[in-house]
Copies of this chain bind each other. A is one copy, B any other.
Amino acid sequence: MRKRRARKQFAASDPFAGIASNLSRLVEPVLLYLLATDRAHYGYEFMEEAAHFAITDAHIDAAVIYRTLRALEQNGFVISSWAPGASGPARRLYEVTPAGLEHLKRWAVVVDQRGRAMVYFAQLCNQL
């Protein structure tokens, strides 16, 4: 008889726990950064801006953007409000909260560490 395991639940409970899996795309910190630097303010705009970041893959799916923004809001890292579009449908505008900025700072430490480790690893590989 297989025991019913209680699988670890992250995302909503401990927002920083899922860092290993999010690290692959770094969507979360990039969105926070774009918001914090006033480069993007709503979902559709993020799609275009995020593409300029070499840190992420060339294309980030819209679904990932919208769902990540919702997750960030649930964790209190951003707040949204509706605003009329310049031409077209309404936009959901996002703002970073102080907690969101702190979260980005924590991300920065992890990204820096892993980034350095990766550069170092690449160097080791080239010495073969």
List chain A positions with a Cβ less than 8 A from chain B: 20-21, 23-26, 29-30, 33, 36-37, 53-55, 57, 101, 104-105, 107-109, 111-126, 128
Q: Which residues from chain B contact A118 at a C-beta distance below 8 Å? A: 26, 55, 111-112, 114-115, 118
Q: Distance in Å from the Cβ of A103 to the closest Cβ of chain B? A: 11
Main secondary structure of the interface of A (DSSP, over half): helix
- For A20, give its contact among B57, B111, B115 (CB under 8 Å): B57
Q: Distance in Å from the Cβ of A82 to the closest Cβ of chain B? A: 27
Q: Which residues from chain B contact A24 at a C-beta distance below 8 Å? A: 20-21, 23-24
Q: Are A117 and B55 in contact (CB under 8 A)?
A: yes
